[in-house]
C-alpha cells in the first residue's frame, strides 16, 4: 500500500484499515542529535517559531518518523499566564519555579481566578503565539507529506501550574468546588489555544494532562476534575483530530477518557498494550506505548524492536513513545523504532 506518511497517519486517526500502523511520535520527540543536525536547539527552540518549526520537523527529517510535532514542553501556557519558568538548558525541559496565585486548602485561603488573562489575549503573545506561528511554518515546509501534531497542556494540569499542583490535588479532597472554579476559568484559554493551533495547520492536537493521572487522583475523580473540561476544550476542536495523553497507569480510567469524545488516547507503557486494546475495543485510536525510559532511553535496540512489535500486534493505531522522549535517547533506538514498524505487516 503506497501512502505518504501524512496519508498513513490521517487514515490511522480515521480508524481505516492499513497494512501497518504509522510510526510517529505524538509526544515530545526532540533529541540532542536532532538539535545538532538541524541547527535548532533548546532553549531557543522553545522560544522562537523558526527554531521551533525546524526542530519540530526533525523527527521526520532525521529518523524517518511519519509526523512532525511541536512544541516541546508543558510550560509555555503557564509562563504566558504568569508562572516563573526556567528556560535555559539544551538537554533538559523547562521547569516551573514559581506559581502566580495563592491556593491553600489547609487555611481556606484562595485567590480569585477571575484575574486570569482573557483567552483572546493569551494567544497573541509569549511562547503560545510562537507555537501557533511554528504550526504555520511546519505546514508550509512539511504539510504536504506529513501530518502536523501540536502539543498543548490539559486544563486540570494548567490550573495546577497556576496555583501549585500539590495544593490542587489536596483541594480535590478538601475543597473540590474551589478547584472547579480554577479549572473552569482556565478551560476557555485551553479551548481557544487548541483551536488556534488547529487553525494554524495542525492536523492533530495532542493534549497532555499528567495531573489527571491515577498517580495523582483516584479514578473516580478524573471526570469531574479533568474529563468534563477536556470534552469541551479538546474533543470539540474543529478541523483536527484530538488525542488525550495521560501519564501513568491509565487502565482504570480508559473508559472515562474515551467518554470525553476525543479521537485517540495516548498511553504509557505502564498499561499493557494488549489489555489496553481489549478494553478500548476500537472506541478510540490508541497511540503509544513504547517506553520512553525503557527501552527507548535505557534499553537496547532489540528491546525497542520487541516493544514496538508488541504494540503493533496489540492493535495500536499509531506506534509512538509512551511519553515524551529523553533528549539523550540513543540514535540506534530511535532508528530501530522506525525500522521495526515500517517493516511490520498486519
3-state SS assignment for residue 75: coil
The answer on pLDDT for 188 being more than 90 is yes
What was the pLDDT predicted at 2?
86
Give the CA angle between residues 125, 130, 136 to the nearest 5°.
Answer: 125
Counted residue by residue, the chain has a size of: 346
| Contact call for residues 190 and 152 (beta carbons, < 8 A) | yes
Other C-beta atoms closer than 10 Å to the C-beta of 205 total 27
> Percent of the chain beyond pLDDT 90?
99
Query: Kind of pairing, strands 95-98 and 84-86?
Result: antiparallel
* Span 235-259, average pLDDT: 98
Measuring CA to CA, how many Å separate 37 from each of 44, 56, 63, 100? 15, 13, 11, 38
* Span 19-34, average pLDDT: 98
Other C-beta atoms closer than 10 Å to the C-beta of 77 total 25
Q: How confident is the model at residue 1 (pLDDT cuts 50, 70, 90)?
A: low
What was the pLDDT predicted at 12?
98
Paired with 70 in beta bridges are 150
Q: At what angle do helices 49-56 and 126-142 cross, to 10 degrees?
A: 50
Residue 117: partners with Cβ closer than 8 Å, 6 or more residues away: 80, 81, 189
Rounded to 10 degrees, what is the CA torsion of 206, 165, 294, 312?
A: -30
> For the chain, what percentages of helix, strand and coil (3-state, to nearest 5) are there?
50, 15, 35
DSSP string across 128-197: HHHHHHHHHHHHHHHTTTSEEEEEEE-HHHHHHHHH-HHHHHHHHHH-HHHHHHHHHHHHHHHHHHHHHH
What was the pLDDT predicted at 126?
98
Residue 231: partners with Cβ closer than 8 Å, 6 or more residues away: 259, 260, 261
Alpha helices in 200-324 (DSSP H): 222, 228-233, 254-259, 273-280, 301-314
What was the pLDDT predicted at 249?
97
User: What average pLDDT is seen over the chain?
Assistant: 97
User: Is-cis flag, bond preceding 140, omega within 30?
Assistant: no
What was the pLDDT predicted at 33?
98
3-state SS assignment for residue 66: coil
Rounded to 10 degrees, what is the CA torsion of 158, 162, 168, 172?
A: -60
pLDDT, one tens digit per residue, over 300-328 is 999 999 999 999 999 999 999 999 999 99
pLDDT, one tens digit per residue, over 262-281 is 999 999 999 999 999 999 99
Amino acid at each position: 500500500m503506497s501512502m505518504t506518511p501524512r496519508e498513513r497517519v490521517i487514515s490511522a486517526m480515521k480508524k481505516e484499515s492499513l497494512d501497518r500502523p504509522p510510526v510517529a511520535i505524538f509526544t515530545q520527540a526532540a533529541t540532542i542529535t536532532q538539535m545538532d543536525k538541524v541547527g535548532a536547539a533548546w532553549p531557543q527552540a522553545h522560544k522562537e517559531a523558526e527554531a521551533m518549526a525546524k526542530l519540530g520537523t526533525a523527527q521526520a527529517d532525521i529518523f524517518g518518523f511519519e509526523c512532525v510535532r511541536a512544541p516541546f514542553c508543558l510550560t509555555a501556557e503557564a509562563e504566558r499566564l504568569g508562572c516563573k519558568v526556567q528556560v535555559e538548558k539544551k538537554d533538559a525541559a523547562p521547569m516551573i519555579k514559581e506559581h502566580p496565585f495563592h491556593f491553600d486548602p489547609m487555611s481556606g485561603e484562595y485567590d480569585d481566578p477571575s484575574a486570569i488573562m482573557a483567552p483572546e489575549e493569551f494567544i497573541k503573545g509569549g511562547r503560545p503565539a510562537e507555537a501557533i506561528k511554528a504550526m504555520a511554518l511546519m505546514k508550509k515546509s512539511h504539510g504536504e507529506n506529513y501530518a502536523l501534531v501540536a502539543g498543548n497542556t490539559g486544563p486540570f494540569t494548567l490550573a495546577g501550574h497556576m496555583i501549585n499542583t500539590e495544593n490542587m490535588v489536596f483541594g480535590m479532597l478538601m475543597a473540590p468546588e474551589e478547584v472547579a472554579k480554577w479549572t473552569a476559568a482556565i478551560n476557555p484559554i485551553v479551548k481557544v489555544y487548541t483551536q488556534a493551533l488547529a487553525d494554524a495547520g495542525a492536523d492533530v492536537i495532542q493534549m497532555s494532562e499528567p495531573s489527571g493521572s491515577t498517580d495523582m487522583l483516584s479514578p473516580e475523580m478524573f471526570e469531574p476534575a479533568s474529563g468534563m473540561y477536556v470534552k469541551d476544550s479538546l474533543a470539540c476542536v474543529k478541523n483536527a483530530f484530538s488525542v488525550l495523553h495521560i501519564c501513568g497507569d491509565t487502565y482504570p480510567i480508559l473508559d472515562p477518557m474515551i467518554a470525553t469524545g476525543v479521537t485517540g488516547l495516548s498511553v504509557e507503557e505502564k498499561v499493557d498494550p494488549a489489555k489496553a486494546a481489549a478494553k478500548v475495543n476500537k472506541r478510540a485510536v490508541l497511540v503509544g506505548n513504547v517506553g520512553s525510559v525503557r527501552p527507548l532511553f535505557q534499553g537496547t535496540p532489540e528491546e525497542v524492536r520487541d516493544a514496538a512489535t508488541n504494540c503493533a500486534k496489540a492493535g495500536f493505531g499509531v506506534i509512538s513513545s509512551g511519553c515524551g522522549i529523553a533528549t539523550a535517547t540513543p540514535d540506534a533506538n530511535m532508528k530501530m523504532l522506525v525500522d521495526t514498524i515500517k517493516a511490520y505487516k498486519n
